[in-house]
Structure 1
Amino acid sequence: MSKKKVVLVVEYDGSRYKGWQAQKFDVDTVQEKLEFALSKIANHSVGVVCAGRTDSGVHASSQVVHFETHSERPLRAWTLGVNTHLPPDIAVVAANYVSPDFHARFSALTRRYRYVIYQSEFRPAVLAKAVTWTYKHLDENKMREAAKCFVGEHDFSSYRAIGCQANSPIRTVLNFSVEKLGQYIVLDIRANAFLHHMIRNFAGVLMAIGAGEKPVSWAKQVLDARDRTQGGVTAPPHGLYFVDAQYASEFCVPQVPLGPHFLPFRDEAVLDG
């Protein structure tokens, strides 16, 4: 029996997981939980590939993954059926059969993340691990102005983790918006690909600028330095969400509303800058 390739859109709260990727040690990861659930429905061992691996504590509202199977199942089996074997903080929200040449990682044209900052005098309880809290007042206009320097193709050495294993620090940021929504400030970034801790390092710099601790020009000074030690604090993982991956239309990858879901819904396919 020939194998079929299935694409899934997966949502997860990464608070209690040691990241996406399955590990040799006995720790909880999103990939390990998903592969276990899929294997139950497929009745054989299943391995999955994702569009973008997330770190410990990082979330996703629409992570895209693919896997291969020789089992004949209706699409509802890959969503509702799989969800019966998943913990409450992981859910498959869409599925489709795709062509054999589809690849969740290598077929992705762009990836998109949102970083959610919550401003309040008091720390949140309900969203304690879902947002990055600051008691400081942040000027979103200064943050928005500073973020302009990130758009385009750049050497982002200053904004990647020292231990980043990517072969090149060159990435292309297509859009970077900073928007205030009530007590939230949302950084919304779309790029061809990202470096390790890249968005959290963006957030750390922009929060310092927004708080008035650094001038707007500091973001570009850090970028031009090409030196991670010049980049300030890496922001916490709690506010970071993988929210979208774009593919060629012929792959028929399901589309779901941008998250996280506690933010106001905006019906948009791409950022408007």
Structure 2
Amino acid sequence: AAGRTDTGVHARGQVVNFFTSSSIPPERLPRALNSCLPEEIVVLGAEEVPPEFHARRSAKSKIYRYTLDCGEYPDVFWRRFAWHPIYKLQADALQEAGRHLVGTHDFSSFRASGSAVKTSVRCIKRLEWDFSQDPLWHLYIEADGFLYKMVRIIVGTLVEVARGALRPEDVARIRDGRDRNLAGPTAPARGLCLWEVKY
């Protein structure tokens, strides 16, 4: 699979690859697979790829979306797909703080323990908030790769800024400190969705 998502995280753009001896043509595979998959999983397309293709290692970048429900009360229809913080958040602070994370940096401060990666350096290509569906605020974050729980820790930290517990410029200090204890809490899994994988 392109993304090894945590329990409770959703995926709109998950990609998997597998070898098969089936004679079913690729264009008919989605219907065949959907007939036996649980209703929470839907195959949207299939195509033949070279043997060396790998859904995760061949990816150029991934886009995740995180959704905040900033209404006065939680939206019952979004309860499984959004985090409803108990604080009033400032949208401009979210945007300003996020700018300190774009680019190539060591993201050790935004990595949960329990992952054994060779390097914590990643390149965030894009970090944008979409407020057009207010009170649902969507964060789109694209990078060449992500560390364990990186997006959720980033969101938790940005929410700390947006509620006034941190200043936007503190995010640069946290980033450069390379210490998980400096960053904010880990945002709940339910708001996170693997949105797209680019090859």
TM-score (norm 2): 0.95
In the alignment, structure 1 residue 72 sits paired with structure 2 residue 23: yes
Query: 2:84, 2:108 → 1: CA distance?
Result: 26
Give the partner amino acid of 1:131. Answer: A
User: One-letter code of the match for 2:169?
Assistant: S
State whether structure 2 residue 176 is matched by structure 1 residue 216.
no
> How much has 1:61 moved relative to structure 2?
0.4
Task: Determine the C-alpha separation between the residues in 2 that align with 1:185 and 1:209.
Answer: 15
What is the CA–CA distance in structure 1 between the aligned matches of 2:137 and 2:167, rounded to whole Å?
Answer: 19
CA deviations 1:21-79 (Å, max 9, x no partner) are: xxxxxxxxxxxxxxxxxxxxxxxxxxxxx111100100000101100011110234320
Structure 2: tracts of 5 or more residues without a match:
none
Tell me which of 56, 61, 74 is aligned to 2:12: 61
Identity of aligned residues (%): 35
Compute the displacement of 1:236 (Å).
0.4
Distance 1:126 1:165 in 2: 37
More strand by share: 1
Runs of 4+ in 1 over 4 A off after TM superposition: none
Equivalent residue of 1:94, what SS? coil
Does the aligned pair in 1 maintain the 2:68–2:137 contact within 8 Å? Answer: yes
Does 2:42 correspond to 1:87? Answer: no
1:153 matched to which residue of 2? 104
Q: 2:184 — aligned with what?
A: 232
Structure 1, unmatched stretches of 5+, are 1-49, 248-273
Among 132, 143, 146, the residue aligned to 2:83: 132
Distance between the aligned counterparts of 1:124 and 1:200, measured in 2? 20
Question: Following the alignment from structure 2 to structure 1, what is the Cα–Cα distance between the partners of residues 149 and 17?
Answer: 24
Paired AA for residue 106 in structure 1: R
Q: Give 3-state SS (helix, strand or coil) of 1:67's partner.
A: coil
Shift of 1:101: 2.1
User: RMSD between aligned alpha carbons?
Assistant: 1.2
Q: How many residues align?
A: 198
Within 5 A, what are the aligned runs for 1:122-271?
122-180=73-131, 181-247=133-199
Partner SS for 1:57? coil
- Amino acid in structure 2 at the alignment position of 1:104: A
Letter in 1 for 2:143: A
Q: Which has the bigger relative contact order, CA under 8 A and spacing at least 6?
A: 2
CA positional deviation for 1:239:
0.5
Within 2, Cα distance between the matches of 1:203 and 1:176? 11
Are 1:132 and 1:239, in contact at CA under 8 Å, matched by a contact in 2?
A: yes
Give me the whole-angstrom Cα distance separating, in 2, the residues matched to 1:143 and 1:198: 17
**Do the aligned residues in 1 keep the contact of 2:89 with 2:163 (CA within 8 Å)?**
yes
TM-superposed CA distance for 1:218, in Å, is 1.6
- Give me the TM-score of the superposition, normalised by structure 1: 0.70
Question: What secondary structure sits across from 1:205 in the alignment?
Answer: helix
More displaced, 69-78 or 206-215?
69-78
